[in-house]
Amino acid sequence: MSDTIEKVKCLIIGSGPAGYTAAIYASRANMNPVLYQGEQPGGQLTTTNDVENFPGYPEGITGPEMMMQLQNQAERFGTDIRHGWVTKVDFSGEFHKVWINDEKEIHASTIIISTGASAKYLGLPSEQKYLKLGGGVSACAVCDGFFYRNQEVVIVGAGDSACEEAHYLSKLCKKVTMLVRRDEFRASKIMAERVKKTENIEILYNTETEEVLGDGQLVTGVKVFNNQTNEKHEIPATGFFVAIGHKPNTDIFKGQIDLDETGYIINAVPGTSKTNVEGVFVSGDAADHVYRQAITAAGTGCMAALDAERYLAAKDADFEVATSTYN
């Protein structure tokens, strides 16, 4: 073994609500966790302007401020938080091997994966502009729909998630315009029918977004075009929601642990954070394609740390029994 290899008891990969919560619990359990923040320190919440649905913040809080508080809390209990991201893993041996930035090699007794998932966007410059400004572009109706009460919004998407989010928005907003790229939904029949029967949802088929309009700070409308006739028009709106899916940040784990067909990590034992590899646990959106909320991510971060602590305790107990038997 090279002198440059570092051995740690608990390695946490990722720094969103799941990663930091796991770090808090692991630190308090004397597991001396090392946490690597990844390419986006703080995760998706760092792109969220206002968070009003996380318990404990009656006046709300900005996403970046909340993540800084979580980081400070993890550091207070002794978490070793580092910059850098994991570029390669090998879970085939007794120790779980991880490489940081293709250079540093770490061997960990336990690993907690908290790499999250990334929302898919259209990639339009105007969309990205107002997303970064926090001025009206969102990929989460449950997170941000409240801010558009009694207003008119546009949502892009045609699958079950898009229908679910459109229906959610319809309960809050004056009008929801749904842009469907094809001449039919990809969603299940029951979800599509629910949207079609909702009075304040207008569905525009064969319609795509050309530009998100705004005043430089806030969204004011959306310019769309019919991909069959090329006819263009503008839709007044204060919110632009994108519901075309998420991509779990799990590519580096392919071939190492079990993933489903879309790349989400599979919980080997339902109701736990365990993967199919002993000593490797998962928390947050890397395994959650249903809820995708900060509070649920934090909850699974707690679960992962507790599962990791129990795993280490059981190994220590087995070692003591084996030593006692040998003596």
Please give the positions annotated as active site.
Answer: 140, 143-144
147: its two tokens: 């801010």
DSSP 3-state of 230 = coil
Are 240 and 222 within 8 A, CB to CB? yes
Measured at the alpha carbon of residue 136, what is the angle toward residues 132 and 140, in degrees to the nearest 5? 90
142: its two tokens: 């449950």
Are 105 and 60 within 8 A, CB to CB? no
- C-alpha 108/C-alpha 106 separation (Å) is 6
- C-alpha 32/C-alpha 246 separation (Å) is 32
- Per DSSP, the chain holds a count of helices (H) and strands (E) of 7, 17
Which amino acid type is present at position 191? M
Q: Which three-class secondary structure string do you get for 50-66?
A: CECCCCCCCCCECHHHH
Partners of 153 in beta bridges: 176, 239
Measured at the alpha carbon of residue 215, what is the angle toward residues 210 and 179, in degrees to the nearest 5? 30
Are 237 and 153 within 8 A, CB to CB? yes
| Inter-CA distances, 72 with 23, 46, 53, 66, 68, Å | 11, 15, 21, 10, 6
DSSP 3-state of 158 = coil
225: its two tokens: 């075009």
226: its two tokens: 């019919």
Paired sense of beta strands 104-113 and 96-100, if any: antiparallel
